[in-house]
Amino acid sequence: MHDDRGLVEARLKRVLDERVRPAVYPESVPLDVAVWVAPGVGASPARAESRARGTVPVEEGLAAKGVSIAVGDPWGAPWGTSWFRVSGRVPKEWAGRHVEAVLDLGFDENMPGFQCEGLVYRPDGTPVKGLNPRNQGVRIGAPAEGGEEVCLHIEAASNPVLLDYHPFVPTRLGDIETAHHDPLYRLARMDLAVFDETVWALVIDLEVLGELMHELPVGSGRRWDILRAVDRALDALDLQDVNSTAAAARDRLTEVLASPAEPSAHRVSAVGHAHIDSAWLWPLRETVRKVARTTSNMTALLEDEPEFVFAMSQAQQWAWIKDHRPEVWAKVVKAVADGRFVPAGGMWVEADTNMPGSEAMARQFVHGKRFFIDEFGVENEEAWLPDTFGFAAGLPQIIKAAGSKWLLTQKISWSQTNTFPHHTFLWEGIDGTRIFTHFPPVDTYNCAMKGSEIAHAARNFKDKGVARHSLAPTGWGDGGGGTTREMIAKAARLRNLEGSARVAWETPADFFTKAEAEYANPPVWVGELYLELHRATLTSQAKTKQGNRRSENLLREAELWSATAAVREPEFTYPYEELDRIWKTVLLHQFHDILPGSSIAWVHREAEQTYAALAGELTALIERAQRALAGEGTQALVFNATPHRRHGVAAGGAAVRARGEKPALSPRPGGGFVLANERLRVEIDGRGLVVSAYDLAAGRETIPPDRPANLLQIHPDFPNMWDAWDVDAFYRNTVTDLVEADEVVVGEGASVRVTRSFGSSKVTQTLTLEPDSARLDIVTEVDWHETEKFLKLAFPLDVHAERYASETQFGHFHRATHTNTSWESAKFEACNHRFVHLEEPGWGVALVTDSTYGHDVTRTVRPDAGTTTTLRVSLLRAPRFPDPETDQGPHRFRHALVPGATIGDAVREGYGVNLPERTVPGAGPVAPLVTVDNDAVVVTAVKLADDGSGDVVVRFHEAHGGRARAALTPGFAAASVTVTDLLERPLSEGELKDGAVEVELRPFELRTLRLRRA
């Protein structure tokens, strides 16, 4: 037989595009349209909050009197809101037929979620559904009566397209304060139309078979069976009368659609899904509306499709619906009660997991899971993070401690260098906890049920022969939209179709239960799940990252001192509501496009304002508690919020600080200065560079002979794509050392001030040695005005080490200093929290930080055969997309070099840099609420129980990487002690011996105790 395959495939494409799809709506009449543009901030004081968000209440939009507008007319300035009223009458001759309103706001069908969108309401305020490029039809009657009046209202958002066909182009549209005011869109279609279900079903048939056909081997008999059936179906179709002949065409496809899948076919669990970024190329205010649109669509689909299941994560987004869209919330609550609208993930938001601190990562699960439990009685057992940019090695035990046991993500498939070897596996964290983990082999969290996607999932699945199940998150996401009726129809045809994987709608829990049951001994992956992409998110938008770190530190203090005051002072009221609200705000801003710095300017401008407001509130809470504890008096009491004794002040207590002798500061021969105390001698040369940091106790030099430390370096930084997200390895090919100083002078106290100018920027550094301190403090202030540059601060160290430690949640993680393999080479930018630590046997050095996360470590061998290991912290970048003004302006960073540091020293000094002492006048010392007699056991939280019982909750972990025994002693009369999970629910009863709790911990083990007060 002659090979006419190309001819038939081309025929199918043209007939579908030009004849069959247009025939889905064979008859239409125009609707009358009026528009009212919502005002900005101003008019009604009663509506101030809503107007400040750039929106108006639904009832106001419904009541507004609009002006006439026609199809083809422009509408919608950037970030504006327009209320359209569409009205008309169904022709009487359409009685008994399926009638829909087709509402096209001017969509580009290739960009669902990234442009204008709308939410349709009935005149009584009942939400109907969302509008987006892949969802334009609104059912009027199925069947229609004929002659009925139609009136609908559309709340339409004219969000600008920022990630266009030519992506990563700098734009001022990313902030309402810099965007222009010209209309962005033109109304494209506002009609009542007859919906031909037979033609629509034919479209689905032909799409499913055509897509499957392209995935089958050319030599496959099944491919040719489909080809011939499609050819016959097209022969049966009258292209001048598609609607009358569609049924006959479908008949010729019945046999190939009925042929069952092979018994060994891969199983795909389809989960309805709409990954909605809580902020990204739109502000937080717009996400509230995106969620409302998407959930309205999904509740409508659930009513129509009895097998469909939809899962939505991020408790914050559920809370937004409840708080801001009660009319939508009512529908969601009913759908959840029916069991097919599934709360997923158990986190407050789909957070970044690299940068949030220990407690913040724990609270993501506490607040997320508690919301779903309180609202619906549903407890999630899965963590759901499809789009997060890599996963810290401390996460498994946090998931387990929250009462969950599974993890889903897809993002690791984006790695540029290495292909991850598993799709279903056990992930082992730093403490040995293992979590059953699945990476969907469909390699997208926006599956549209295309044949190419399902075939890729089956081919790509790396666990064949021992497992057969994978998951496919199905629906338009990022900007929302969710699953469509077309996706559901395709899934129905793929349920049991020869040549394809089998597809069935299932909840995440159903999938994980089956996957775990079939895979008795999955492989194990130990350590972080590093994403070999988006490494620059550890640095972009420095002020956002600093706001997060500062908020975490202030929350620790606010809880500690408030709990102490509530226990000690009967008149003091613990601020439950304030702390709950502030925690949720901080957790929201840890979303994986806010904290990583990859959102538009509007998002980060608001984040900076929010963090400043939170800092004011938390500082006031701290001061209120400390004043209550200090009492009336004139003694200068120093409050120490770190988990270690400091300058004679106990951890979590307050006392008069003991001060050591002032360090010496003297001129250095050849230029510069020498700082020295009884522990450390530091030489700073005439260029302001550290050329010696001598550990007096060990008799050991820290700085190698060939390279100075405290060296600022600048690189060109223009990645191939994803500007705010990525730094590509070639950035290191070109570097400029900033060694010229404008001045090197004595500063206040025992300090040296260094000023440099470069490009359009200026930097001032202050290097200080405190009394009794073993660390050199370095404050770096940068007035940054560079573009597409990367600023690093380098510390070459005379240390021979094959690996180094960086702090992560509830412990630290080791990475290689070498690049033996492609896996190690790919980690050329990595994350730390408070410290990075390198050591040889018997001697180490740490660098601690108050706000930076990104760093790199490299090693070279000197001519003297010694090894120089260079640690560089990442300070600033200057990408132009999506925020063209990223990081422009003043910044302040604090680091400290700690020669001779053990890992315990690194932990202690890291806390010291992040939690400055506070001095309050008072009557006398304040005893700690809780003490621990082993520095390896680090307390991360002291607070009152969330249930208002007054119980004291203490969370701690082993921080040095070894086994630890400790006595935890409450500074109050305790009646009982209970070991709990993160949600403060009992796991086992503890024991008090002589008023203390004896604990034994594995390396990095996390534990939470609940102490009932006598």
Catalytic residues: 387
Picking from 111, 108, 131, the residue whose alpha carbon sits closest to that of residue 185 is: 108
Residue 605 makes CB contacts below 8 A (sequence gap 6+) with: 175, 177
- Judge whether 588 and 348 are in contact, CB under 8 Å: yes
Q: Which residues pair with 1009 in a beta bridge?
A: 954, 979
- Report how far residue 785's alpha carbon sits from residue 123's, in angstroms, rounded to the nearest whole number: 52
Q: How many CB atoms within 10 Å of residue 128?
A: 18
3-class secondary-structure state, position 2: coil
Q: How far is CA 122 from the centre of its chain?
A: 35
- Judge whether 87 and 151 are in contact, CB under 8 Å: yes
Q: Which two tokens stand for residue 91?
A: 């022709």
- Report how far residue 1008's alpha carbon sits from residue 1014's, in angstroms, rounded to the nearest whole number: 19
Q: How far is CA 507 from the centre of its chain?
A: 22
- Report how far residue 705's alpha carbon sits from residue 241's, in angstroms, rounded to the nearest whole number: 86
- Report how far residue 858's alpha carbon sits from residue 816's, in angstroms, rounded to the nearest whole number: 9
Peptide bond into 882 cis (omega under 30): yes
- Judge whether 305 and 498 are in contact, CB under 8 Å: no
Cα dist. 81→162, 276, 285 in Å?
18, 20, 12
Q: Which two tokens stand for residue 857?
A: 């470590």
Picking from 451, 12, 14, 23, the residue whose alpha carbon sits closest to that of residue 197 is: 23
- Report how far residue 687's alpha carbon sits from residue 672's, in angstroms, rounded to the nearest whole number: 7
Q: Residue written as tokens 């049966």?
A: 236
**Number of residues that make up the chain:** 1014
Picking from 31, 106, 45, 41, the residue whose alpha carbon sits closest to that of residue 80 is: 41
Q: Which two tokens stand for residue 312?
A: 């939505």
Q: How far is CA 657 from the centre of its chain?
A: 41
Q: Which residues pair with 436 in a beta bridge?
A: 406, 426
- Report how far residue 970's alpha carbon sits from residue 542's, in angstroms, rounded to the nearest whole number: 39
Backbone angles phi, psi at 852, to 5 degrees: -95, 155
